[in-house]
Chains A and B, each alone.
Chain A
Amino acid sequence: ETGVTQSPTHLIKTRGQQVTLRCSSQSGHNTVSWYQQALGQGPQFIFQYYREEENGRGNFPPRFSGLQFPNYSSELNVNALELDDSALYLCASSLDRSYSPLHFGNGTRLTVT
């Protein structure tokens, strides 16, 4: 059973640039959730995708967008990067969109300078 993998592991970008983060779900999982974790904080919910459609969104501006593909892998796109976007971005897959446990990848550490 393949776990959740994220790429890249680290990324440095300049304010105003755009970034795409990628996630491969655990085998058999059709739901992906993305979280932002600032240093010393718990993960904050960005959005969730279920069978290629956005299933819900947290308090993040529209410049945070996502995609889920037919194989249930996913992307997180962030436009017009700001310094406060520096954080660990976590992808988690789950069996379905109900309250099944989240299986996390090890995250992408994004630094915006």
Chain B
Amino acid sequence: TQLLEQSPQFLSIQEGENLTVYCNSSSVFSSLQWYRQEPGEGPVLLVTVVTGGEVKKLKRLTFQFGDARKDSSLHITAAQPGDTGLYLCAGARTGGFKTIFGAGTRLFVKA
């Protein structure tokens, strides 16, 4: 059982569409991070959220941390083919020493 559940697992959309991916847990996290991974490369950090209810924007990407710090969402506006990749959420639990990852959402944006 994954401590961090991501949904959907796979998403194929047309360029210009909007989408939201979710990261859920029954555990509280001191912070959540979102990474993007492209084939043949390691994950690259997009954002870290640390405060319950926090919203961060990175150009067309909007990240939200749930009020209870158990879940997060990533919303992409007007998706582009360059957004294609594996989106991973990752969290550090309070008092823990490791960052754990969800299984990822594989996004494919068609031109």
Residues of A within 8 A of B (CB): 4, 33, 35, 40-45, 48, 55-56, 58, 90, 92, 97, 99, 101-107
Contact = CB atoms under 8 A, between A and B. Distances in A.
B48 A42 contact: no
Interface of B: 2, 4, 6, 30-31, 33, 35, 40-45, 48, 88, 90, 92, 97-104
Contact of A101 (B4, B33, B40, B98): B33
Given A58-B98, A99-B92, A102-B99, A41 B104 contact: yes
A105 B37 CA distance: 11
24 contacts: A33-B99, A40-B103, A41-B104, A42-B88, A42-B101, A42-B102, A42-B103, A42-B104, A43-B43, A45-B98, A90-B42, A90-B43, A92-B42, A99-B30, A99-B31, A99-B99, A102-B33, A102-B43, A102-B90, A102-B99, A104-B35, A104-B44, A106-B40, A106-B42
Contact of B45 (A33, A41, A101): A101
Contacts of B99: 33, 45, 99, 102
A48 B99 CA distance: 10
Candidate in A4, A42, A48, A103 with the most chain B CB atoms within 10 angstroms? A42
A55 B99 CA distance: 13
Contacts of B98: 33, 45, 48, 56, 58
A107 B6 CA distance: 23
Contacts of B4: 42
Nearest to A45: B98
